[in-house]
Chain A
Amino acid sequence: MVRIYVIDNGGQWTHREWRTLRDLDVETRIVPNTTALKELQKDHIHGLVLSGGAPRIGLKGSLGNCAEYLDAAEFPILGICAGHQFMARHFGGKVQPSKTPEFGQIELSLCIEEDSLFKGVPKKSIVWESHNDEVTHLPKNFITLGESENCKIQAMRHRDKHFYGLQFHPEVEHTQYGEHIFQNFIGLCEE
């Protein structure tokens, strides 16, 4: 059984991420973001989800031990909202307050031809958002996978590793292909 943990950065939907993984028959747990990487390695996890967070947490400062996970992980990592923003900052990108914050229903446009995380997701689909800040400059070694009208970096990926960042929330019921995206992520963790 594939084992993927959810790092809790204090998001409203952290538990939803856990639920989606559990619904897809993943062995999963919510762990505080202060958990040492060693502890996670002891459990032989196959992947990690960095949850969204409390207000403005993605903008500055550290995010528990998330930096440690990103530096040392040999497994796939999916950063969502604040988790995505922190991933970008950690690798040298920039996060700023959004000119137009997005809440609720938004159209996502994919801007790549092929990607493992978005396999089977159409070019345009409905996703749900809830953010005040966003990634404005991509870190080196990352590529943009998707955008929306008001947010140019909705999804990004590391060039060599299975590190993904999503500004939107694939874990909520109203995101059209949310469960599909999680299924693809699980596939990457199983590799």
Chain B
Amino acid sequence: MFHAERFVEKSISILQSEIQGKALIAFSGGVDSTVCAALVNKAVGDQLIAVHVNTGYMRKDEPEQVKQLMRTLGLNYRYINASTEYYQALTGVEDPEKKRKIIGEKFIRIFESVGRKEDIHYLVQGTIAPDWIESGGGLRDTIKSHHNVGGLPKDMKLTLVEPLRDLYKDEVRKVARVLKIPVAERQPFPGPGLAIRIIGEATPERTKVVREACDIVEKEIEHAAAKGLMELPWQYFAVLIPIKTVGVHGDKRAYGNTIAIRAVQSVDAMTCHYSTVPHEVLDTISTKITNTLKKKVNRIVYDVTNKPPGTVEWE
């Protein structure tokens, strides 16, 4: 069995001998990077600097929440708003692998520049098993390049430290509970963020649309789960499909985009079953999204694909 207490003990002693000097951690505020930060902080204390990069593809109010979380955890942190840079780098980019690689490389370049300024030589990442498995390499096929593995530039100057590499999300959550970290039950959110929830070019305008739709899906599903109407899924969000269909708005023709609702059940993200969201919940989400985003979105679909053959995120 996996013993979280033993894992914490063992990791701390390994980290203390592995990290000689200052280290920075790529801190997204998700379960993996938060657990990783708490673990490394326990091992090397203030030698660790948490860096949160706002890519512009964060969810609603997320940058503020992440800053608050870094303060709660007592981390020595830096906040970098790089949205403009990211939007620029992704202009005209439609291919999902290209998006992931550009985002991955940009993260590293930002971390390297912090490293140079502050004399840091180690980069700590909350990489977990599915990240490197799906990124491929050697015999293994590349399913998608996770920004923290397949998206790493070859000439990276920082030394990588990845204490959670052999863990799956359910095990990371066990570690989170042992470390008493408040985000243990938070749903996963990918490093490339909303950029991979927009099919095609991830423009600032489309980002606004999918951010609003994601917020509605999250709130409604959490609300329904709290009321006991359904089980809280493993992950639940919206995807913007820039395909236009015809609708009618108050006797007038409408012609807008499509939003897909995605919700899945899983334990480790390696296989997933789509969630059975009650129709009344889907109904509320559908009405809210189309009414809130009426100029942009006039059709909602529900994704009923398992993994395999699908993956959780669409890109």
Interface residues of A (CB under 8 A from B): 8-16, 19, 22-23, 25, 33, 53-55, 57, 103-105, 128-130, 169, 172-174
- Which of A13, A22, A53, A128 makes the CB contact (< 8 A) with B139? A53
* B273 nearest CB neighbor, chain A only: A174
Pairs A-B, 4 closest by C-beta atoms: A10-B139, A103-B309, A104-B306, A172-B271
Which of A33, A54, A57 has the most CB atoms of chain B within a 10 A radius of its CB?
Answer: A54
| Residue B95 CB within 8 A of the other chain | no
Whether the pair B273, A54 counts as a contact (CB closer than 8 A) is no
In the complex, which residues of chain B have a beta carbon less than 8 angstroms from the beta carbon of A54?
139-141
B112–chain A nearest beta-carbon distance, Å: 30
Whether the pair A9, B139 counts as a contact (CB closer than 8 A) is yes
Would you mind naming 30 contact pairs between A and B with Cβ atoms under 8 Å apart? A9-B139, A10-B138, A10-B139, A10-B141, A12-B134, A12-B140, A12-B141, A12-B270, A13-B270, A14-B140, A15-B129, A15-B133, A16-B270, A19-B168, A22-B2, A53-B139, A54-B139, A54-B140, A54-B141, A55-B141, A103-B306, A103-B309, A104-B306, A104-B309, A105-B306, A128-B308, A169-B271, A173-B270, A174-B272, A174-B273
Interface residues of B (CB under 8 A from A): 1-2, 129, 133-134, 138-141, 143, 166, 168, 266-268, 270-273, 306-309
* A10 nearest CB neighbor, chain B only: B139
In the complex, which residues of chain B have a beta carbon less than 8 angstroms from the beta carbon of A8?
139
Bound: A25/B2 CA distance, A: 9
A-B contact count (CB 8 A): 60
Where chain A touches its partner, the secondary structure class is mixed
Bound: A54/B308 CA distance, A: 15
Bound: A131/B211 CA distance, A: 36
In the complex, which residues of chain A have a beta carbon less than 8 angstroms from the beta carbon of B129?
15, 19
A157–chain B nearest beta-carbon distance, Å: 25
